[in-house]
């Protein structure tokens, strides 16, 4: 029988041995991962998302990885509101897993074995601008013609019926922008325009945008080699991998599973710089598409390395202008409720661990429709939309969508303009950008494998409704 997971103490309740069948007893490592996962999501959901604890357990902690799905509900969390910490115990002879929140980067899951020691997390002022007009703030007129029968609003409403675009799908939010105006906006009960959710792999496209901003700052060259220090010894063939290879999922690095599961990073057992750099080369860089979290993690590490190289060469280096700083860019865009989280060593987990609102994703889409210009400041290179839309790298086999540079391509979707690009994320996170129609479509959800949302059909119907 499973030993007691935790002691009866202030840090958590006793998990009975009978909670798990004898033949399903989880490993000690899986217990630690489950505890880290729960601490992370409760922490992020509370203070990034502004959600109630019961809603977090219903939305965020169900429909999760099979590896930990049965363990997570059996572990008790302790929320320390004044300290913005969450603790989850998993073994009586080990410290609990701990997630710590700060204003700048959200929650950080501390490594297994991390004790109760004082930490000084980075703090920057997060300025909410709710009292400004859209898009910098959230003062908006009522969506134009947003009556129940208006075609665009009607289609948006259908996304919530759990049948039209996927049996059993669970939509939490929809936002439709046209010509920088909100044409439709709707949220499920308990959510509103300020409720942040995890983006999952939509974060990859956010990573690509941040790299684009670095290119505009003349800090990063995407055609240059990644130049990671871990690959510079003994003529390591991985040293030939470029930033562009990584952004196009064409590094040639091996993966353990489809999507390249990175449990150790996501659940706080290891760091990006330790794990993501350790995979061996399997294909020549630039020759094979393999969708992998590690490629995005490595692209961001490479961008940060390029910043570091330039920093040492620039006599006029100014941190406020030249650092790789997601927070600063988000503030410029009015994405004031977006949190790019890091591992415990300070590496950004931009493959999936960004929390944001539907409106903030709408702002990101609008940046691309503005050709990379925001408030008369160029934040992305003039050709960046063309770059991320270009399927110049190897393409995915057997997929309905092509791939550019950190963005999916909906160029083969019936009824959808051929210039449409999109960011896709687990559990039904979608940001669709249609330059030719000056349109952005955002859909947020809590889908599971039992009910997936058909974003191509939804986008097609929105396009059709707009034309009416």
- For 156-178, the pLDDT digits (tens) are 999 999 999 999 999 999 999 99
Angle at 333 between CA 219 and CA 172, to 5 degrees: 120
Alpha-helical segments (H) within 220-292: 243-247, 263-266, 272-275
Confidence band for 441, pLDDT divided at 50, 70 and 90: very high
Residue 2 has pLDDT above 50, yes or no: no
pLDDT above 70 coverage of the chain, percent: 91
Res. 258 pLDDT band, cuts 50 70 90 = low
For residue 372, the model assigns a pLDDT of 98
Bridge partners for 78 per DSSP: 87
In this prediction, residue 257 carries a pLDDT of 67
Residue 122 has pLDDT above 50, yes or no: yes
Contacts by 159-162, CB closer than 8 A, 24 or more apart: 159/186, 159/443, 159/453, 159/458, 160/186, 160/188, 162/451
Task: Compute the mean pLDDT over every residue in the chain, rounded to the nearest whole number.
Answer: 90
Residues 6+ apart with CB under 8 A from 48: 101, 106, 107, 196, 337, 339, 355
Q: Give the 3-state DSSP-derived string for 253-267, with helices as H, strands as E and coil as C.
A: ECCCCCECCCHHHHC
pLDDT in tens, 362-373: 999 999 999 999
Share of the chain above pLDDT 90, in %: 79
Question: What tens digit of pLDDT does each residue of 52-101 get?
Answer: 999 999 999 999 999 999 999 999 999 999 999 999 999 999 999 999 99
pLDDT greater than 70 at residue 15: no
Closest CA to 347 of 247, 272, 293: 272
Is 206 strand, coil or helix? helix
pLDDT score of 385 more than 50: yes
Distance of CA 78 to CAs 26, 83, 89, Å? Answer: 22, 12, 9
Band (pLDDT 50/70/90 cuts) for residue 120 is low
Give, as one character, the DSSP assignment of residue 131: T
- What pLDDT is attached to residue 234? 87
Residue 449 confidence (pLDDT): 85
pLDDT at 20 over 50: no
Q: Is 146 a residue whose pLDDT tops 90?
A: no
pLDDT given at position 121: 54
The predicted structure's pLDDT at residue 124: 64
pLDDT at 147: 45
Q: What is the pLDDT of residue 12?
A: 36
Examine the pLDDT at 305 and tell me if it is beyond 50.
yes
Between 261 and 262, residue with greater pLDDT: 262
pLDDT of residue 277: 93
Q: What is the pTM of this model?
A: 0.92
Least confidently predicted of 42-51, 136-145, 180-189, 225-234: 136-145
CA pair distance 154, 238, nearest whole angstrom: 51
């Amino acid at each position: 029988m499973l030993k007691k997971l935790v002691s009866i103490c202030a840090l958590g309740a006793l998990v009975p041995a009978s909670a798990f069948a004898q033949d399903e007893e989880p490993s000690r490592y899986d217990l630690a991962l489950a505890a880290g996962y729960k601490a992370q999501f409760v922490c992020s959901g509370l203070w990034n998302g502004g959600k109630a604890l019961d809603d977090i357990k219903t939305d965020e902690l169900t429909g999760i990885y099979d590896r930990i799905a049965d363990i997570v509900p059996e572990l008790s969390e302790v929320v320390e509101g004044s300290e913005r910490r969450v603790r989850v115990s998993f073994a009586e002879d080990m410290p609990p897993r701990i997630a710590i929140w700060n204003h700048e980067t959200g929650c950080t899951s501390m490594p297994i074995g991390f004790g109760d020691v004082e930490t000084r997390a980075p703090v920057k002022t997060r300025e909410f601008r709710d009292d400004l007009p859209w898009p910098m703030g959230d003062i908006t007129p009522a969506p134009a013609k947003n009556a129940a029968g208006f075609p665009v609003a009607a289609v948006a409403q259908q996304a919530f019926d759990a049948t039209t675009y996927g049996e059993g799908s669970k939509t939490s939010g929809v936002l439709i922008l046209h010509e920088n105006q909100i044409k439709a906006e709707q949220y499920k009960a308990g959510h509103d325009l300020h409720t942040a959710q995890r983006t999952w792999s939509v974060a990859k496209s956010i990573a690509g945008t941040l790299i684009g901003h670095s290119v505009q700052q003349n800090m990063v060259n995407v055609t240059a080699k990644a130049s990671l220090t871990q690959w510079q010894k003994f003529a390591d063939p991985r040293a030939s991998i470029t930033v562009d290879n990584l952004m196009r999922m064409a590094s040639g690095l091996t993966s353990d599973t489809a999507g390249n599961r990175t449990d150790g990073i996501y659940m706080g057992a290891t760091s990006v710089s330790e794990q993501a750099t350790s995979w061996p080369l399997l294909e020549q860089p630039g020759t094979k598409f393999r969708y992998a979290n590690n490629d995005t993690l490595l692209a961001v590490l490479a961008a940060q390395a390029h910043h570091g190289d330039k920093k040492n060469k620039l006599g006029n280096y100014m941190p406020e202008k030249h650092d790789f700083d997601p927070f600063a860019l988000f503030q410029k865009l009015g994405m004031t409720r977006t949190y790019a989280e890091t591992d415990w060593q300070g590496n950004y987990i931009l493959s999936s661990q960004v929390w944001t609102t539907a409106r903030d994703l709408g702002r990101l889409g609008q940046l691309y429709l503005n050709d990379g210009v925001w408030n008369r400041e160029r934040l992305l290179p003039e050709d960046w939309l063309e770059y991320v839309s270009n399927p110049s790298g190897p393409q995915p086999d057997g997929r309905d969508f092509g791939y550019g540079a950190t963005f999916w391509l909906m160029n083969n979707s019936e009824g959808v303009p051929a210039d449409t690009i999109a960011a896709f994320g687990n559990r039904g996170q979608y940001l669709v950008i249609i330059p030719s129609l000056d349109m952005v479509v955002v859909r947020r959800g809590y889908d599971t494998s039992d009910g997936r949302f058909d974003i191509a059909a939804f986008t097609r119907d929105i396009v059709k409704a707009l034309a009416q």
